[in-house]
Structure 1
Amino acid sequence: MHIYPYLFILPRSPGLIVWNYKDHTQHELDLNYSTRLAQLISNPDLFDPHNIIDTQLLSAGILTVSKIDNPPWGWDELSKIYHIGTQNIPCEHSPQNIHEWSRLYLAHCNEVLATPAPTTDRPMHAAEQRIALPLPRGLNDDSLGNALLQRKTCRSYTGAAMTLDDVGTLLYLSLGYLHERDLNRDDSIAQDLGARRSSPSGGGLNACEGFLLVRNVDDLEPGIYAYHPAEHTISRVNPLPQPALGDLLGGQHFINNLPLGLFITARFDRLWWKYEHSRAYRMAFVEAGHLSQTFQLIATALGLNTWLTGAFADKQVETLLKIEGSAEQPLFFVGCGESDGQVMCQEMRDLLREVQA
C-alpha cells in the first residue's frame, strides 16, 4: 500500500482537511481517521483490509494500491502544489460544440451577475480628495515599433524629474479605462464588465490596480498614490517609505532615486466573483504582466527607460499601500525615468571590472 503523492494536509479544528491538489478533491478527517492516517503514513504496510477506516481512505484515493510516479520537481514543494493544483479545471461536462459552449457560458455569466459585484473602486479614497491627471498626449505613429526595439531594462537613473503630463499619459494608456472605446462598446458585454483597458484582462474583470510611488514629479508632492482608472485621478495614500525604496525591493538600492514607480496589485475578490477555481490565480499574474509590458512600452515611447521587479517585501508593501489584510495584494513593481541607458548600476560595473582585472 502507498500514500497518494499529491496530497497536503490542513489543520482545521476539530479535524484535518486532506486535499488532493491534483484531482481537486477534499476530505475532512476526524481524530480517529487522522490518527489512523498518521499511522499509515509512518508505515503503509500496516494497511488492514478488514479495517473500515483503511478501506475508506483507499476508496477516497488517499491511499493507493500501486506506487504512483512522482516526477522530480526542481523547485520547492509549494511551487509544485501551486502548479499542479491549478492545472486541469474540473469540468463535469465538456461542451461538444460552439452552441453548447455558448449556452453554458451564458448560464455561468448570468449566475455570476445575479450576485453583487465587488466594488470597482477602493472605498478608502474619497472622491473629493482625488487629483485629476492630464489627459494623455499624442504619440508618434511609429512609436510602437520604436518602443518594441528600444525597450530596455536599466538600473542606473539620473533622478531627474518627470512631468505630470507624462504621468497622465502613462497611467491612462496602461491602466485607465479608455473612454475612447465607449462609442465602440459591444452590446453583448454586461454593463458591470464594460470597462476596457489597452491590455487584456481575464474575464474582462480588470482585476489589477495600480499604486504610484512618486519621488520626483513636477507639480506632484512625493508620496504613494492610488490610481482610479474610471476617473483618471489619483489620491494620496501615504508619504514615501522610510527607509529607502531599495529596502522594500529586495535590497536593490540602485533604484533609490527612481522618480516614478508603479506597484501593480490584484483584486482577488473580483476574480473570486466570477471564477471559483484556483486556476484563476494564474490569470492575476498574466494580467499584471500585460500591464507591466504596456507601461514599459509607453514609457519607452515617451523617451524614458524602465526597470521592473517581482522581488519585494510583501508585508511592508501592503502596509505602505494600506491594503494589509484585504483581498487586494501586490504582485509586481515597474518604474521609469531618465537613465544613462546602462543595464547595470555603476557599482556593479565597477565590481565586474575589478573581478575581471
Structure 2
Amino acid sequence: MVVAGGGTAGHIEPALAVADAVRRLDPSARITALGTPKGLETELVPARGYPLELIPPAPLPRKPGKDLLATPYRLNRAVAATRKVLRAVDADVVVGFGGYVALPAYFAARGRLAAGRRVPILIHEANASAGIANKVGARLADRVLAAVPDCGIPGAEVVGMPVRATIADLDRAATRAAARDFFGLDPEAPTLLVFGGSQGAQQINAAVAGAAAALGAAGIGVLHAHGKNNTVDPVSPAGAPAYVPLPYVDRMDLAYAAADLVICRSGAMTVAEVTAAALPAIYVPLPHGNGEQRLNALPVVEAGAAVLVDDADMTADYVAREVPALLGDPDRLAAMAAAGAQTGHRDAAETVAAAALAAAARFRAAQAQGPRR
C-alpha cells in the first residue's frame, strides 16, 4: 500500500492515521508513504515508523506565469519518479489524501504497472471544499471517500476524518491529571489550550498572550503552543495558575486531555481531532484562502460543540471577556462536550483502511488470474 498525503499536517496526519489502522487490521501489510523533500512528511512520517519515498515536487500554480508553463515538465518528472516507487514496492493500491504529492500518485497508478493492470486508487477528501488534486484524481479513482458531505466531488461517500487512535479513543477525564502533570499545569485550575497549527497563528498568539493577566486573575491556566518561529511574552499576576508557552506540542492527545477549552484554527484535521476528543472549542478560521476553514467548522458549531470567531475579532479584549465566562459555566461546557461526542465518525480511519485493503485484495486476485488481453 502506498499512501500519498504530503506537504502539510492536514494531508499527512489522516494518511498516517489510515496507515496505523491498516497495521491494526492486517499486520502483514507493507505500507510506504510518498512525499517530497519540502513537506512536513520528512519529519512526521519517519517518526511514526513508516518508510518514506521522496519524489520531485510538482505544485500546481493558481496564477499564470513561468511556474504554470513549467508545470507539465515538473508533473511528468514527478509521475515518472512515482511510477518507479510503485514498481519498486510492488504496490497493490494507492490511497491519496490530496495535496501536491497526490496528483503524481494518481497519474502514476493509472499507468500499466503490473501484468498489464492499473493499480487501484482510493481517495479520501478531508476538506469541506475539495482541492484541485483530489478533484482531478476523482476522475481516475476506483472509490472516493470524504470527511463531510458536499465536499465538491460528486458521489463521494461520507466516512468522516481519519484521526489517530490515541485521540479517537481518548478519555479526557481519565487522562487529565497525568496530562496536566506532563505539561506542568495547575492540576485543579480550568485550563485553556491554544494553538494555531504547526506554524502558529500571530493573531491568536497576540490575543491570548495579551489577555494573560485577565486569565490569571480569573484562575485560568493556559497551555499555549505558539509555533516554532514565534514567541509570546505573557504576564500573569502572582499566584495565578501556570501559563505554559511551548513552540510545539508533540503529544496532542495529552494537550487535549489537559484542557477544558481550546482556541485554535479550524483546519479539517484540527476540527476532526478536537471533535473526536469532545473538547469545547473556539475556532478562528484563517482570514484568507478559499474559506474552507470556516466551512470545516460550521457543522460542529451548528451542533453546539464550538464557537466561531472571525480572525479580526480575536483580540485580547475578546479573550479576557469570553474565555472566563465560558470556563466559568460548567453546564455550557458539558453541553458543548456532549455535542462534540455525538458529532463525527471516530471509526473513519478503520473504514478507509478496510476499503483500501479490500481494493488491494481484489487487485492481487486479478493479478493471479493473469494479464488482461
What TM-score bracket applies, with the shorter chain setting the length?
under 0.3
* TM-score, scaled to structure 1: 0.25
Report which of the two has the higher share of helix.
2
Report which of the two has the higher share of strand.
1
In our comparison, the structure showing a higher alpha carbon Rg is: 1
* TM-score, scaled to structure 2: 0.24
